[in-house]
Amino acid sequence: MPTVSRQRFLRWFAELADIGRTETGWNRVAWTPLEIEAQEWFRREAEGIGLEVRKDGAGSLWAVEPGAGEGPYVCAGSHLDTQPDGGAYDGALGMVCALEAVAAVREAGEADRRPLAVIAFVDEEGARFSTACFASRAIAGVLDIDAVLAAMGDAPKIHGVTRESLLASRAELARVACFLEVHVEQGKALVDRGQALGIADVLAPRRRYRVEFEGESNHAGTTPMAGRRDALVAAARFVLAVDEAARARPGAVATVGRVSIAPGSTNSIPGRVVCTLDVRALDGATIDAVMDDLRRRFGDAAIVQESMSTGAKFDDGLRQALHRSAGASGVPAGDLPSYAGHDAGILAAVVPSAMVFVRNPTGASHSPAEFASDDDCVAAAQVLAGALADVAAR
């Protein structure tokens, strides 16, 4: 059984937290020199524990055990980038847990096992170009390469990324036997349950819609209330109905996050309103039920689906290994769905993948207020180390 070093874990976490720290939060935004600085830190420390580090065609770093060749490897990892004014834990916690867990498994000295690797994915946050999970999508073969490159200008150069290198990066997937990612929880479910860790069972499917309300614009003073067709009043009823429809179904969440009003003048009745709608649930049937409800009640509105992700199921064998490891370490853990996108969620569709969430007492995310205690973070690294050793054993 590998044993992680609390002292080394905390030193690594503090060192990474020093990169991009500002008074308003952490700013290691992807495709900037601070992401590169974090990569240089990762390369140095990974080499320090005897791993060999190389960059792939999507810009990600792979730290692999010497002699492991082309793999496939038992992989752990996360991302080094943050949102603008993001937190210290999102991404960084997963990277330090992966590095520490792999170090501990190597130190445990079990000779007959499969090789390990740590992957530092580039641009998980998609903060600059709406390219979330850029590098995991690239190797999974689901990145729209021409569309993202058209949107990114010169930015990819900083990691040496080109159209050709992105196409070539698809070959990396064959090197991943499986992928495990630790992540700070982006909510407070674990605090409420009194559990330090949550082991992801499903990645919730998500659909996004554009909803349009057509009314009639006219003078705000001279048009009597009777006979008005105010598009914003219709949209307001819709927003309330969205809230009700999601509350009525366990596990569903639905959000109208953006509203634009035309003509948008204090002196005019809104003639046209366009809003976004984001719906997530534990399964597609529940999203269907929410949408059927809304379409039935708002037949006049134009509701158009703009994007969707089908969600994913995390690998049962890896989940069991994580539960066994948590049990062996005496760490309270339960199952927890993921309602946000992650590199492990992208990979789950193409290779066995799993995720561990770490209790976040503030419940904050993409903010410097996000938090996890040292004890919980070290426990997550220990549980990951035990699971990696288990999964890698022959």
Give the nearer residue to Zn ion in terms of CB position, either 90 or 376. 90
- 358 sits in the region (left: phi over 0; alpha: psi -120 to 50; else beta) called beta
Size of the site for Zn ion (CB under 5 A): 2
Q: Which of 71, 86, 87, 91 binds Zn ion (CB under 5 A)?
A: 91
CA 344, CA 210: separation in Å to the nearest integer?
Answer: 28
E-strand ranges in 82-234 read: 116-121, 176-184, 197-203, 206-214
- Residue by residue, DSSP assigns 71-104 as --EEEEEEE----TTB-SSTTHHHHHHHHHHHHH
CA 127, CA 246: separation in Å to the nearest integer?
Answer: 28
Determine how β-strand 197-203 pairs with β-strand 312-313: antiparallel
Stretch that binds Zn ion, among 37-45, 82-90, 242-250, 355-363 (CB under 5 A): 82-90
CA 158 to chain centre: 23
Give the nearer residue to Zn ion in terms of CB position, either 101 or 149. 101
Check: CB of residue 360 under 8 Å from CB of residue 185: yes
What 3-state class would DSSP assign to 14? helix
Stretch that binds Zn ion, among 85-93, 197-205, 374-382, 386-394 (CB under 5 A): 85-93
Q: Is 90 in the site for Zn ion (CB under 5 A)?
A: yes
Give per-residue burial for 26-62: e unless 16+ CB within 10 Å, then b: bbbbbbbebbbebbebbbebbeebebebebbbbbbbb
Stretch that binds Zn ion, among 87-95, 98-106, 255-263, 274-282 (CB under 5 A): 87-95
Give the nearer residue to Zn ion in terms of CB position, either 127 or 242. 127
What number of H helices and E strands is found in the chain?
12, 16
Please report how close the Cβ of residue 94 comes to Zn ion at its closest, in angstroms.
Answer: 7
Give the nearer residue to Zn ion in terms of CB position, either 13 or 209. 13
Q: Is 86 in the site for Zn ion (CB under 5 A)?
A: no
Stretch that binds Zn ion, among 84-92, 133-141, 158-166, 295-303 (CB under 5 A): 84-92
Please report how close the Cβ of residue 249 comes to Zn ion at its closest, in angstroms.
Answer: 27
Q: Is 185 in the site for Zn ion (CB under 5 A)?
A: no
Stretch that binds Zn ion, among 86-94, 135-143, 348-356, 380-388 (CB under 5 A): 86-94
CA 89, CA 372: separation in Å to the nearest integer?
Answer: 8
Give the nearer residue to Zn ion in terms of CB position, either 59 or 91. 91
Check: CB of residue 279 under 8 Å from CB of residue 252: yes
Give the nearer residue to Zn ion in terms of CB position, either 91 or 215. 91
Please report how close the Cβ of residue 382 comes to Zn ion at its closest, in angstroms.
Answer: 21
Binding site for Zn ion (CB under 5 A): 90-91
